[in-house]
Chains A and B, each alone.
Chain A
Amino acid sequence: DAGITQSPRYKITETGRQVTLMCHQTWSHSYMFWYRQDLGHGLRLIYYSAAADITDKGEVPDGYVVSRSKTENFPLTLESATRSQTSVYFCASMSGRDSYNEQFFGPGTRLTVL
Protein backbone atom coordinates (compact mmCIF):
# COMPACT_ATOMS: atom_id res chain seq x y z
CA ASP A 1 0.00 0.00 0.00
CA ALA A 2 1.18 3.49 -0.76
CA GLY A 3 1.86 5.76 2.13
CA ILE A 4 4.08 6.11 5.13
CA THR A 5 4.44 3.34 7.68
CA GLN A 6 6.22 2.97 10.98
CA SER A 7 7.35 -0.10 12.84
CA PRO A 8 7.01 -1.25 15.46
CA ARG A 9 3.82 0.50 16.53
CA TYR A 10 4.51 -0.25 20.19
CA LYS A 11 7.79 -0.97 21.91
CA ILE A 12 8.80 -1.52 25.50
CA THR A 13 12.49 -1.55 26.29
CA GLU A 14 14.83 -1.09 29.21
CA THR A 15 17.18 1.73 30.08
CA GLY A 16 20.50 1.40 28.29
CA ARG A 17 19.29 -0.75 25.41
CA GLN A 18 19.58 0.24 21.79
CA VAL A 19 16.29 0.66 19.95
CA THR A 20 15.64 1.37 16.29
CA LEU A 21 12.37 2.75 15.03
CA MET A 22 11.68 2.25 11.36
CA CYS A 23 9.98 4.57 8.90
CA HIS A 24 9.16 3.73 5.29
CA GLN A 25 7.43 5.82 2.63
CA THR A 26 6.38 4.81 -0.87
CA TRP A 27 6.01 8.25 -2.46
CA SER A 28 9.70 8.86 -3.10
CA HIS A 29 9.43 12.08 -1.12
CA SER A 30 12.76 13.81 -0.73
CA TYR A 31 12.23 15.01 2.81
CA MET A 32 11.65 12.93 5.89
CA PHE A 33 11.31 13.94 9.51
CA TRP A 34 11.25 12.44 12.97
CA TYR A 35 9.21 14.03 15.75
CA ARG A 36 8.45 13.15 19.31
CA GLN A 37 5.17 14.00 20.98
CA ASP A 38 5.15 14.81 24.66
CA LEU A 39 2.46 16.31 26.85
CA GLY A 40 2.65 20.07 26.85
CA HIS A 41 5.17 20.18 24.00
CA GLY A 42 3.22 19.22 20.93
CA LEU A 43 5.50 17.78 18.27
CA ARG A 44 9.21 18.45 18.51
CA LEU A 45 11.55 17.84 15.60
CA ILE A 46 14.36 15.38 16.34
CA TYR A 47 16.05 15.02 12.97
CA TYR A 48 15.23 15.55 9.35
CA SER A 49 16.63 14.47 6.02
CA ALA A 50 16.58 16.34 2.74
CA ALA A 51 17.62 13.35 0.63
CA ALA A 52 19.45 10.05 0.86
CA ASP A 53 22.68 10.50 2.84
CA ILE A 54 21.71 14.05 3.90
CA THR A 55 20.50 14.50 7.46
CA ASP A 56 20.38 17.40 9.91
CA LYS A 57 19.52 18.01 13.54
CA GLY A 58 16.22 19.37 14.67
CA GLU A 59 15.21 20.86 17.98
CA VAL A 60 15.88 17.85 20.26
CA PRO A 61 18.52 15.58 18.65
CA ASP A 62 20.50 14.50 21.73
CA GLY A 63 20.44 10.75 22.31
CA TYR A 64 19.25 9.93 18.80
CA VAL A 65 20.98 8.85 15.62
CA VAL A 66 19.52 8.70 12.12
CA SER A 67 20.61 7.40 8.77
CA ARG A 68 19.17 7.48 5.31
CA SER A 69 20.86 5.17 2.88
CA LYS A 70 17.72 4.85 0.73
CA THR A 71 15.17 7.52 -0.12
CA GLU A 72 12.26 5.46 1.19
CA ASN A 73 13.66 4.59 4.62
CA PHE A 74 14.56 6.80 7.55
CA PRO A 75 15.36 4.79 10.71
CA LEU A 76 15.74 6.46 14.09
CA THR A 77 18.05 4.83 16.63
CA LEU A 78 18.20 5.42 20.35
CA GLU A 79 21.71 4.25 21.08
CA SER A 80 21.23 3.90 24.84
CA ALA A 81 17.61 4.44 25.75
CA THR A 82 16.70 6.58 28.75
CA ARG A 83 13.38 6.98 30.58
CA SER A 84 13.12 10.53 29.28
CA GLN A 85 12.87 9.09 25.79
CA THR A 86 9.54 7.48 26.60
CA SER A 87 7.29 9.15 24.07
CA VAL A 88 5.26 8.73 20.92
CA TYR A 89 7.42 9.07 17.83
CA PHE A 90 6.07 10.24 14.50
CA CYS A 91 7.78 10.02 11.16
CA ALA A 92 6.73 12.34 8.35
CA SER A 93 7.62 12.93 4.73
CA MET A 94 7.30 15.87 2.40
CA SER A 95 7.73 16.31 -1.32
CA GLY A 96 9.47 19.19 -2.98
CA ARG A 97 12.28 21.43 -1.96
CA ASP A 98 10.63 23.81 0.44
CA SER A 99 8.29 24.08 3.38
CA TYR A 100 5.37 25.23 1.24
CA ASN A 101 4.39 21.59 0.94
CA GLU A 102 2.41 19.72 3.56
CA GLN A 103 3.90 16.94 5.61
CA PHE A 104 2.41 13.45 5.64
CA PHE A 105 2.63 11.63 8.92
CA GLY A 106 3.00 8.00 9.80
CA PRO A 107 0.80 6.32 12.43
CA GLY A 108 3.32 6.76 15.23
CA THR A 109 5.36 4.44 17.47
CA ARG A 110 4.67 4.43 21.19
CA LEU A 111 7.94 3.76 22.99
CA THR A 112 8.18 3.02 26.69
CA VAL A 113 11.58 2.90 28.36
CA LEU A 114 11.53 1.18 31.75
Chain B
Amino acid sequence: ILNVEQSPQSLHVQEGDSTNFTCSFPSSNFYALHWYRWETAKSPEALFVMTLNGDEKKKGQISATLNTKEGYSYLYIKGSQPEDSATYLCAFIRGFNKFYFGSGTKLNVKP
Protein backbone atom coordinates (compact mmCIF):
# COMPACT_ATOMS: atom_id res chain seq x y z
CA ILE B 1 0.00 0.00 0.00
CA LEU B 2 1.43 3.35 -1.01
CA ASN B 3 0.75 6.23 1.39
CA VAL B 4 0.29 9.78 0.28
CA GLU B 5 -0.34 11.89 3.33
CA GLN B 6 -1.70 15.38 3.49
CA SER B 7 -1.60 17.59 6.52
CA PRO B 8 -3.41 19.10 8.16
CA GLN B 9 -6.70 17.35 7.42
CA SER B 10 -8.57 20.61 7.86
CA LEU B 11 -7.73 24.21 8.39
CA HIS B 12 -9.81 27.20 9.45
CA VAL B 13 -8.35 30.64 8.78
CA GLN B 14 -9.53 34.20 8.62
CA GLU B 15 -9.79 36.14 5.39
CA GLY B 16 -6.41 37.68 4.64
CA ASP B 17 -4.40 35.00 6.45
CA SER B 18 -1.71 33.18 4.56
CA THR B 19 -1.64 29.44 4.90
CA ASN B 20 0.23 26.40 3.77
CA PHE B 21 -0.22 22.68 3.78
CA THR B 22 1.84 19.62 3.02
CA CYS B 23 1.70 16.58 0.79
CA SER B 24 4.11 13.78 1.74
CA PHE B 25 4.88 10.91 -0.59
CA PRO B 26 7.46 8.16 -1.08
CA SER B 27 10.76 9.57 -2.31
CA SER B 28 11.47 6.62 -4.60
CA ASN B 29 10.22 6.15 -8.16
CA PHE B 30 8.87 9.66 -8.41
CA TYR B 31 7.23 10.50 -11.73
CA ALA B 32 5.06 13.57 -11.12
CA LEU B 33 2.94 15.32 -8.52
CA HIS B 34 -0.38 16.99 -9.18
CA TRP B 35 -2.30 19.45 -7.02
CA TYR B 36 -6.07 19.74 -7.42
CA ARG B 37 -8.61 22.11 -5.97
CA TRP B 38 -11.96 20.58 -5.11
CA GLU B 39 -14.90 22.79 -4.22
CA THR B 40 -17.91 21.30 -2.51
CA ALA B 41 -20.43 19.82 -4.96
CA LYS B 42 -18.03 20.24 -7.85
CA SER B 43 -15.29 18.14 -9.45
CA PRO B 44 -11.57 18.40 -8.74
CA GLU B 45 -9.75 20.87 -10.95
CA ALA B 46 -6.03 20.85 -11.59
CA LEU B 47 -3.90 23.57 -10.04
CA PHE B 48 -0.37 22.40 -10.75
CA VAL B 49 1.51 19.57 -12.37
CA MET B 50 5.02 19.29 -10.94
CA THR B 51 7.71 17.06 -12.29
CA LEU B 52 11.17 18.24 -11.28
CA ASN B 53 12.87 18.43 -7.92
CA GLY B 54 12.94 22.07 -6.88
CA ASP B 55 9.96 22.97 -9.06
CA GLU B 56 8.05 26.03 -8.00
CA LYS B 57 4.70 26.84 -9.58
CA LYS B 58 2.47 29.85 -9.08
CA LYS B 59 -1.08 30.72 -10.05
CA GLY B 60 -2.33 34.00 -8.65
CA GLN B 61 -1.93 33.91 -4.89
CA ILE B 62 -1.40 30.15 -4.81
CA SER B 63 2.03 28.61 -5.17
CA ALA B 64 3.58 25.20 -4.72
CA THR B 65 7.05 23.79 -4.19
CA LEU B 66 8.38 20.29 -4.70
CA ASN B 67 11.13 18.30 -3.01
CA THR B 68 11.34 14.85 -4.57
CA LYS B 69 14.43 13.79 -2.64
CA GLU B 70 12.72 14.08 0.72
CA GLY B 71 9.24 13.35 -0.60
CA TYR B 72 7.12 16.41 0.05
CA SER B 73 5.34 19.27 -1.64
CA TYR B 74 4.02 22.44 -0.05
CA LEU B 75 1.03 24.44 -1.22
CA TYR B 76 0.90 28.08 -0.13
CA ILE B 77 -2.00 30.48 -0.29
CA LYS B 78 -1.12 34.12 0.31
CA GLY B 79 -3.90 36.31 1.67
CA SER B 80 -6.68 33.68 1.70
CA GLN B 81 -10.11 34.69 0.48
CA PRO B 82 -13.45 32.99 1.22
CA GLU B 83 -13.53 31.76 -2.38
CA ASP B 84 -10.34 29.80 -1.66
CA SER B 85 -12.38 27.55 0.61
CA ALA B 86 -12.10 24.07 -0.86
CA THR B 87 -10.39 20.75 -0.39
CA TYR B 88 -6.89 20.65 -1.83
CA LEU B 89 -5.80 17.26 -3.10
CA CYS B 90 -2.39 16.09 -4.11
CA ALA B 91 -1.75 13.11 -6.35
CA PHE B 92 1.55 11.28 -6.42
CA ILE B 93 2.32 9.54 -9.67
CA ARG B 94 4.65 6.57 -9.57
CA GLY B 95 5.34 5.11 -12.93
CA PHE B 96 3.12 5.30 -15.89
CA ASN B 97 -0.36 6.45 -14.94
CA LYS B 98 -0.23 5.10 -11.41
CA PHE B 99 -2.03 7.88 -9.57
CA TYR B 100 -2.21 7.87 -5.78
CA PHE B 101 -4.28 10.61 -4.19
CA GLY B 102 -3.99 11.92 -0.67
CA SER B 103 -7.14 12.40 1.37
CA GLY B 104 -6.93 16.16 1.03
CA THR B 105 -6.71 19.26 3.20
CA LYS B 106 -10.04 20.98 3.71
CA LEU B 107 -9.59 24.74 3.91
CA ASN B 108 -12.28 27.02 5.30
CA VAL B 109 -11.66 30.76 5.00
CA LYS B 110 -13.93 32.86 7.17
CA PRO B 111 -14.85 36.35 6.01
Query: Which residues of A are in contact with B by a Cβ distance under 8 Å?
Result: 31, 33, 35, 40-45, 48, 50, 56, 58-59, 90, 98-108
- Nearest chain B CB to A24's CB is how many angstroms away? 14
A to B CB contacts below 8 Å, 19 in the list:
A31-B97, A33-B99, A42-B89, A42-B103, A42-B104, A45-B99, A45-B100, A50-B97, A90-B43, A90-B44, A99-B97, A100-B32, A100-B49, A101-B49, A103-B44, A103-B46, A103-B91, A106-B43, A107-B43
Task: Tell whether A99 pairs with B89 under 8 Å between CB atoms, given A45-B99, A50-B97.
Answer: no
Which residue among B32, B44, B49 has the maximum number of chain A CB atoms within 10 Å of its CB?
B44
Residues of B within 8 A of A (CB): 4, 6, 31-32, 34, 36, 42-46, 49, 51, 89, 91, 93, 96-104
Q: Given known contacts A33-B99, A43-B89, A90-B43, what 15 new A-B pairs fall within 8 Å (CB)?
A: A31-B97, A42-B4, A42-B89, A42-B101, A44-B101, A50-B97, A58-B99, A99-B99, A100-B49, A102-B34, A103-B36, A103-B44, A103-B46, A104-B46, A106-B43
Note all chain A residues with C-beta closer than 8 A to B99. 33, 45, 58, 99, 103
